[in-house]
Structure 1
Amino acid sequence: MNINLLKFVFMYLLITCALNISCIKPDDIRNYLGTRTPYRFKHNKNDTRLNFLSCKERKIWMLVRHGSRLPSAKDIVGAQTYLKDLKYEILMQHRNGRGELNEEQLRRLGGWTCDMQVENQKYLTLEGQDEMILLAERMQKRLPKIIKHEYQNQTFQFRYTPTQRTQQSARYFALGLFDKKIAQDVVFEPAVKVDTTLRFYKHCDRWQKQVKKNPETYKEQMLYGNSREMNDTLEIVSRKLGFDRVLSLDIVALMYRICGFETSQHKHSTSPWCYGFDERSIRRLEYYYDLKHYWLDGYGHELTYRPACMLMKHLVDNMRTQRRNATFLFAHSGTLLKLLTHLQLYKPNSHLRGHSIDEDRTFRVSDIDCFASNIAFILYKCKDGDKLLTLHQEKVVRLPMCDEELCPLDHLIDYYKHTIDNCIYEDICKL
């Protein structure tokens, strides 16, 4: 009986690994797809209840990046034109004895089509819906005293930005918390066009001009794009696909993005556009985009993460005064990265530079900002005072200013007192 049970468990693990459901090897290229990395490879799968002696959970405040989405219109058109033509070239080159793809890879590439509609650009995918439902179910198991199956408008807050992907993420998250009938009655706060809390950077004129539209912001990324490492990568990818010419960085970067989008969408398969990469080349493409996000959304400019004080004010106000026990906010990659930076999480010892890849960096977007990334703060009433537990990707993280995982709420408020007290959006963002 025990032997049969062990055999069953072993076979189950083999099957789930083969289907990419619950495990992935560290050297698997799907680990390195940047902001398009599937959440199923990155989150904490242990959903047992969170317990701390002499403490009782009281509130949760959670910021969630939307789930897996479709590409932008530009990338959809690029896939339907450039990659479509490239597919036939690759197949022809391999028929002529060039290239390194195997028969199964060629078969799957030959059957590839891009049937995404431009008018549905950036829409939440079916996998994105599942990500939200499963995330909600796990959080409820961890915190049953706060996140109850019964819905009351007075105790729950749901808020999203005016986009289809965040709106639908919020709705499917609610579906994971409650049964279908109750979920239909959930009240979502109306999305506002100018949201200086959930998308503070989008409406920050100073940041838009001095950071986003400043060519200097992309200098390090461009430097790496012209580096010897990247030139070698383009040669390696081109040779693997069978070309006697070197593909441009624009085309290889498009392959990388579509590889990510399609792999995140399809739970049980990898996009054929991943076949051109090995672990070394995919890591270099990952770093190319990490440089962009580091200088655009991370530690490159103080002006980038300073307005994230708007979220800190929302958090502190919620923990101190709001009656609601559970607050769920649905936003974007830029929101989450800037808040993580404001909190001084994943800060490298020095700025990321474009001369060569930094393999040991802590700021790795594939790990910290994949689809459905999230950060949660849980308030505990303890015998020695109110404390906060921080979860990122559903994993406990210790804030840099705290000695323990459970951080005194007053300690965090004191640490950020200057930024919160001086968080006047107009003063920060006006030109």
Structure 2
Amino acid sequence: MKCILISIIYFVIIKDISYVLSIKQNDVLNHLGTRTPYRFRHNKDDSKIKYPHCKDTKIWMIVRHGTRLPSAKDIQGMNTTLKDIKLETLLQHKHGKGQLTQGQLKDLEEWTSTLDIEREKYLTLEGRDEMILLAERTQNRFPNAIKNKYNNKTFLFRYTATERAQQSARYFTNGLFEKKDAQDVIFLPATKVDPVLRFYKHCDRWQKQVKKNPDTYKEQILFGNSYEMNKTLESISKRLGLKRVLSLGEVNLMYKICGYETSWNKHQISPWCYAFDVESAMRLEYYHDLKHYWMDGYGHNLTYRQACLALKTMFKIFSDKPDPFAVFMFAHSGTLLKLLTHLQLYKPDSPLTGDAMDDTRPWKASLIDCFATNLAFVLFKCKDGDYVLTLHQERVIKLPMCEKELCPLTKLLEYFHDSIHNCDYTDMCSLDNDASK
């Protein structure tokens, strides 16, 4: 009996190890864009961050919501388009077509979609875990700035008017405090118009000049119609053994569901990931990065200028005002990407274009904007003055305008003077200032 038990334990351990190794070796999972699992990216070292003669006193952190369910459109696609492609693929493999292994075919055969459209974009169980663990690690790193006892004067929590952001905030507090304290947490009321956390949603000028401007998408469309992408569609169709060539819309849906299902299930890779090899995943990744670059990043000046509204709140908290000491805000991909751009982070040497894929670009959503991505500023009181430490996805980073990771607050106040003192949302977003008129 003892030998049998040891054998079972050994099998489970080996199976778990092989699964972890397969994740590291399967590069497809490193190119899932904004649906990349946070567990692939975050800093696992949660030891206290210390600097000589300095003490962490305040923290300002903005967090993208945790892993969520797809949109209603994508759920509908899972229930119709993907089920049809699944049947096509299984049928063709019975006739000896396609390149999937027996194990992959078995996973695909067992795949089904039972998601309710009414729950579109809801936070998943994995998303809840991400928030709880993120809170615990952050508190371990900065125990002085983040007390383990809740006080509504020293803590401030805020989220956008969405289920996924609200739930992310709630579970984050569960990771910070004892159950009783977590139940007493006061959150700032969410508003439909939120110029701090979702400034772009109601910036009329940005909506017209950028989001609804066809030119914003021309590079993505160019790449979508390119020879490279057409060869990718043929390669994926051949891999699945299909008689026809899949459309970009069908392949894009598979790519997105591959990311979603892999993110919300930490013990299993989505069968739709099997449709891709590394090269095809990289092309779909670049296709999406083109959109984010031109709509959420460096493509238009107004896009990232808006983020001054969020950054301004951080500098206000870090002023001589005594409280709050810890501010945590829960928002979205569009918020984080624009804020990262405002800080001049991950900027490519030249604008991303659709005529050729830039493999060396620092602007990769898979690396900088996975689920639960976050940006934190920590105020350190040191013997020679106040300093700010910046962390992205829980890793200490050096801001481009700073000489060292621990940057003088006076330096940042000087550099971002315009962001702090000339950040007029009404003036910036008014259609009266639309240069395209």
Gaps of 5+ in 2: 1-9, 432-437
- Structure 2 counterpart of 1:121: 120
- Structure 2 counterpart of 1:35: 34
- Structure 1 counterpart of 2:365: 365
Contact map agreement 1:16 1:23 (CA 8 A) in 2: no
Gaps of 5+ in 1: 1-9
- Structure 1 counterpart of 2:434: none
- Structure 2 counterpart of 1:251: 250
Cα distance change on mapping 1:374 and 1:236 into 2, 3 Å: same
After the TM superposition, which segments of 4 or more aligned residues of structure 1 sit over 4 Å from their partners?
A: 10-17
What per-residue deviation string (whole Å, max 9, x for no partner) do you get for residues 343-402 of structure 1?
000011110000111000000001100000000000000111100000000001000000
- Structure 2 counterpart of 1:48: 47
Contact map agreement 1:23 1:41 (CA 8 A) in 2: no
Contact map agreement 2:159 2:330 (CA 8 A) in 1: yes
Q: How far did residue 429 of structure 1 move? A: 0.2
- Structure 1 counterpart of 2:199: 200
- Structure 1 counterpart of 2:410: 410
- Structure 2 counterpart of 1:395: 395
- Structure 2 counterpart of 1:327: 327
CA distance in 2, matches of 1:26, 1:342: 34
* TM-score, with length taken from structure 1: 0.95
- Structure 2 counterpart of 1:82: 81
- Structure 2 counterpart of 1:62: 61
Contact map agreement 2:312 2:419 (CA 8 A) in 1: no
Contact map agreement 2:290 2:354 (CA 8 A) in 1: yes
Q: How far did residue 182 of structure 1 move? A: 1.4
Cα distance change on mapping 1:163 and 1:33 into 2, 3 Å: same
CA distance in 1, matches of 2:11, 2:315: 48
Q: How far did residue 28 of structure 1 move? A: 2.1
- Structure 2 counterpart of 1:291: 290
The AA in structure 2 aligned to 1:352 is: L
The AA in structure 2 aligned to 1:240 is: R
1:6-405 to structure 2, matched below 5 A, reads: 17-20=17-20, 24-25=23-24, 28-320=27-319, 321=321, 323-405=323-405
CA distance in 2, matches of 1:23, 1:182: 41
Q: How far did residue 322 of structure 1 move? A: 5.2
Q: How far did residue 25 of structure 1 move? A: 2.1
What per-residue deviation string (whole Å, max 9, x for no partner) do you get for residues 104-148 of structure 1?
111110111111100000000000000000100100111111112
What per-residue deviation string (whole Å, max 9, x for no partner) do you get for residues 181-233 of structure 1?
21101111110111000000001000001100000000000000011111111
CA distance in 1, matches of 2:296, 2:103: 39
CA distance in 1, matches of 2:219, 2:11: 47
Contact map agreement 1:49 1:141 (CA 8 A) in 2: yes
* TM-score, with length taken from structure 2: 0.94
Cα distance change on mapping 1:322 and 1:192 into 2, 3 Å: farther
CA distance in 2, matches of 1:398, 1:158: 26
What per-residue deviation string (whole Å, max 9, x for no partner) do you get for residues 260-288 of structure 1?
11110100101111110011100100000
The AA in structure 2 aligned to 1:129 is: R
Contact map agreement 1:221 1:288 (CA 8 A) in 2: yes
The AA in structure 2 aligned to 1:167 is: Q
CA distance in 2, matches of 1:319, 1:175: 25
CA distance in 2, matches of 1:11, 1:53: 47
Contact map agreement 1:298 1:337 (CA 8 A) in 2: yes
Percent identity reads 61
Q: How many residue pairs are counted as aligned between the two chains?
A: 421
Q: How far did residue 15 of structure 1 move? A: 5.8
CA distance in 1, matches of 2:80, 2:223: 27
Cα distance change on mapping 1:24 and 1:111 into 2, 3 Å: closer
CA distance in 1, matches of 2:11, 2:297: 43
CA distance in 2, matches of 1:253, 1:304: 25
